[in-house]
Copies of this chain bind each other. A is one copy, B any other.
Amino acid sequence: MTQTELAEHLSAHDILPTAQRLRIAAVLLASPQHLSAEQILAQLKADGARVSKATVYNTLNLFSSRGLIRPLSVDGTRAWFDSNVEAHYHFHDVEGGTLTDVAVPEVQFSRLPEPPEGMEVAGIDLVIRLRRRPCG
């Protein structure tokens, strides 16, 4: 995505495209990714960008609330942000911590429970935990 496209993307979601936000968007939206705030900050610093930790967090929260990215709860210890906002599921390598996308058609439910009275399904989070197969 070009700088201009990124800027338009932000504007389209009512987000002022400032320098920092564009840098963060560039890292996250370059391709489908699962990144923690810390990783994004590290990446930005490595790229020589001048961005503070607070701005990274504020921006990530802003992006989530505007639907540009999606927060994930995979390991309790930190928040992950998924730049793929389309419906999809995840493989989670428990040992390495890596996340991989699983496309919707890869999973089919032949049965799902009825939500309780007065409630409706807002979304389905599916995480398939993986471990190395015992050698042999």
Interface size on A, residues (CB 8 A): 39
Of the candidates B76, B94, B118, which one forms a contact with A132 in the assembled complex, judged by CB atoms under 8 Å apart?
B118
Contact B109 A108 (CB under 8 A): yes
Q: Using an 8 Å CB-CB cutoff, how does the interface string of A81-124 with B read, 1 for contact, 0 for none?
A: 00000000001011000001010001111111101101111111
CA distance A72 to B74 in the complex (A): 9
* Interface SS of chain A: strand
- With A76-B73, A120-B133 in contact, is A102–B113 under 8 Å at CB? yes
Q: Are B124 and A119 in contact (CB under 8 A)?
A: no
A29 at the interface (CB under 8 A from B): no
* Alpha-carbon distance A120/B119, docked complex (angstroms): 35
